[in-house]
Structure 1
């Protein structure tokens, strides 16, 4: 059986999550890791039998590496993805694709020019709770007219670089990016965005109220705070149809009412292992599938670019006080 040689850039939390999953996939082999922390690199190399590099260009030159997982701080993603694809490596990148639209365009263009697979880690699309919502919408059982999304992060302290806007790109490039993408995926293409934001606790904009309108005239509201504590549920989606409603609570539970006098259906995923309920297992499987079976990436470079466009539109609206039209 052919095995895809994997190189991992970054041996932090995300790098180890993907490595643990890939180590159980008989179609993949973790070949190498690049990490600036020598002890983290040593432990990763020991655990997975991987070669250790201190410079990512050296890892990209390794002929055993066929695909690269990018799990480094946000500001490095675009540079490393472009370098990897130029070296003929397939790329799985944790979100965001880049921390500005200009760099995102460069990644998009490189992926298309090189012909390499590029998949972005917008893992909410693989959460069972959201897949259930998507299926109801796609099969016509729920016609979404209005959506209200809450994404509250407990803090910008772990990892330490997320509070540094030069490293992260800003709060919206963190967890909020997931729900902005989710809004587009569930409700349809976004046509306009209005955003109000303030800096309340951190030295960057950390409280957001966002209103999005879709091409079909549907409305999505997103509220997010970077200093809310981790009280359950930190993430909640409510979608309203014709006297129907669906409500999600993190990756744990989804409740659906399809009429005024109908029974409320509840799916509880609290006993499902986190790597599965948070979508990591499925996105990794699909990435390996795309390489071995020569399929389109599950969440490709265009979808990644559109997520950056949503973030950029929010920041532009917050700065100018104006409604922003898409595409940019």
Structure 2
């Protein structure tokens, strides 16, 4: 399978590394307006370097295009690739507003190509294990969840991250990871209440999500944190608690509620999954879905719903009021 990459920055190089490890996949074109970046990736991959995206679509022979550009460019490049008959693997968020996201889904469907969106947290072993435990009923009825994601401000290196109309800010770019994970694991969100504070290179947001099944989640995202990048999640149910904290050496801890036969109040079951790059798992999965016409673990509809929730949190933060989700909105399926 022949693939091309538009956007030769950090994530573009991550995608290139992933493709290099998939048998039968060849990177045939790379594109960027930065001549130095595109030449470096061309040399690394053996692909042809293009400064024109149109030329790459017409001349490279690619069947799939990775869109690893800044978020505000996701729509135009994804749509152009779809109209050229290419499958699209787009980084998250799918877009910065629901109209653009719906257009991307629609155009891909009309051109009979697949649209994949890189919500990579679903491919992190510890998050996948938490999801599986919840779905298997190990926690009983889920009641309360907490999730956080904190790190330095990417705008210190790439200024467009500081502009909401280009990145979406900390909610749409960072918190959206946990929004997608929680919706995937717990279910549809009924309402949100959000708070956001931006000052210089500090962008902090917190949100309360109320799910249709009655569960409640508190989610935190912080750009500008002076320490290392950290993620954590804890989900409590009627039968137990499950937690993961990247700052701890054990990647996943499950604490089961005591049964009558247990000798103590909890039984700890530490999990230490073998590590493969989540991006490698994700990209390999997307290619497999194209080859075998399989449904993806994360669909374009999932990406749309995560964006919808994130935008509702932003609306709540501006208004100071809770926002109800409109489930009659666009429902993409691919």
Same structural fold, with TM-score higher than 0.5 when normalized by the shorter chain: yes
Q: Aligned to 2:75, which of 74, 78, 83?
A: 78
Report what 1:306 is aligned to. 305
8 A Cα contact 1:117 1:296, kept in partner? no
Report what 2:234 is aligned to. 238
TM-score computed with the length of structure 2 as normaliser? 0.90
What's the offset of the Cα at 1:71? 0.5
Matched, 1:272 2:275: yes
8 A Cα contact 1:119 1:298, kept in partner? no
What's the offset of the Cα at 1:217? 0.9
Within 1, Cα distance between the matches of 2:124 and 2:104?
Answer: 26
Report what 2:107 is aligned to. 110
Report what 1:35 is aligned to. 32
8 A Cα contact 1:100 1:169, kept in partner? no
Within 2, Cα distance between the matches of 1:54 and 1:247?
Answer: 46
Within 2, Cα distance between the matches of 1:97 and 1:286?
Answer: 18
Within 2, Cα distance between the matches of 1:285 and 1:231?
Answer: 29
8 A Cα contact 1:31 1:50, kept in partner? yes
What's the offset of the Cα at 1:243? 4.9
Q: Which runs of 4+ in 1 moved over 4 A?
A: none
Within 2, Cα distance between the matches of 1:295 and 1:272?
Answer: 25
8 A Cα contact 2:172 2:311, kept in partner? no
Within 1, Cα distance between the matches of 2:166 and 2:24?
Answer: 34
TM-score computed with the length of structure 1 as normaliser? 0.91
Report what 2:256 is aligned to. 258
Within 1, Cα distance between the matches of 2:60 and 2:246?
Answer: 41
Within 2, Cα distance between the matches of 1:103 and 1:28?
Answer: 30
Report what 2:49 is aligned to. 52
Report what 1:165 is aligned to. 164
What's the offset of the Cα at 1:207? 1.7
RMSD over aligned CA atoms reads 1.8
**Residue aligned with 1:65, SS:** coil
What's the offset of the Cα at 1:296? 2.3
8 A Cα contact 2:29 2:60, kept in partner? no
What's the offset of the Cα at 1:164? 2.7
Report what 1:192 is aligned to. 191
Within 2, Cα distance between the matches of 1:154 and 1:134?
Answer: 27
8 A Cα contact 2:170 2:205, kept in partner? no
What's the offset of the Cα at 1:105? 1.4
8 A Cα contact 1:107 1:301, kept in partner? no
What's the offset of the Cα at 1:230? 3.5
Within 1, Cα distance between the matches of 2:203 and 2:97?
Answer: 18
Within 1, Cα distance between the matches of 2:239 and 2:139?
Answer: 10
8 A Cα contact 2:190 2:324, kept in partner? yes
The more displaced of 137-146 and 31-40 is 137-146
Deviations 1:249-298 (A, max 9, x none): 139711110124232112235x725x2xxx11111111111111122233
Within 2, Cα distance between the matches of 1:158 and 1:179?
Answer: 24
Aligned pair count reads 317
**Residue aligned with 2:59, SS:** coil
Deviations 1:45-78 (A, max 9, x none): 0111101111212212235110000101111011
